[in-house]
Amino acid sequence: MMREEIVFGPIFSRRLGSSLGINLLPEKGKICNFDCIYCECGWNKDGRGDTRLPSAAELEVALEAKLADCRKAGTPIDSITFSGDGEPTLNPDFPEIIGITLRLRDTYYPAAKVSVLTNATMLHMDAVVDALKKVDNPILKLDAATDGLVSVINQPQGHYSVRDVVGNMKKFGGDFVMQTMFLKAPGFDSSAPEQLDAWMDIVRELRPREVMVYTIDRETPAKGLEKFTEAQMRSLVKPLIDEGFKIQIKG
């Protein structure tokens, strides 16, 4: 599913209410430094037709026009979410774009919450961390606790180290949402005890204010992937729930 506009929606969902989406990636392509086997946007190799990233100035024009239109029409907006065809923090204007978005939000829909879904690979850059700290919900992906399983599920395009990413996540002092996809296929299983235990230890180390656990929902580029039910995921994360962590489970 590709989004062709910088600003799209609002889309209504039970979880987020009326949500405006922002896509900081190319209009007709996907750009990501992961190539997750479950990515809704498909494989990187199939989405390389267009590589031009929208600039901060373009985002400002598009977002202000949309917010002004919605306000005029009386359309509610509960959240503004960065979740495009790829990784938003790869856009070099990302820090500036966050500043613009928060300013426009304050002007047009001060009650709307700004969320960013990111794969957390750019947290070594202070400007990216500072920008993410300013939004209401920085949602940081960590799908597996070992470099081996990350290489299978997320297929990083370059150097990736779970320990480095966990170290960078500590810059948030626990004030972030961690997002983890549970899935399995012949050859690997997120719920295998050695994987699950190591992942739970990372949650204990980072103490995020909330953990979102979810599974496959739509068609995936890789075939043969299996999802978990909500009940299965609840029982997998039960030790953390018992320890008082706030866990949102989406089956």
Residues that bind ligand SF4 (CB under 6 A): 32, 34-36, 39, 41, 86-87, 119
Smaller CB separation from ligand SF4, 94 or 109: 94
Q: Which residue number, 34 or 109, has a Cβ lying nearer to ligand SF4?
A: 34
Residue with Cβ nearer ligand SF4 (140 or 203): 140
Angstrom distance (rounded) from CA 205 to CA 45: 36
Both tokens assigned to 209: 């204010």
Closer Cβ to ligand SF4, 67 or 202, answer by number: 202
Least separation in angstroms between CB 88 and ligand SF4: 9
Q: Which pairs with CB-CB distance under 8 Å and at least 24 residues apart come from 117-120?
A: 117/81, 117/82, 117/83, 117/88, 117/141, 117/179, 118/82, 118/87, 118/88, 118/89, 119/32, 119/33, 119/34, 119/87, 119/154, 120/165, 120/168, 120/169
Minimum CB–partner distance for residue 117 and ligand SF4 (Å): 7
Run of H or E including 177: strand 177-181
Provide, rounded to whole angstroms, the least separation between the CB of residue 229 and ligand SF4: 21
Shortest distance in whole angstroms from residue 58 CB to ligand SF4: 20
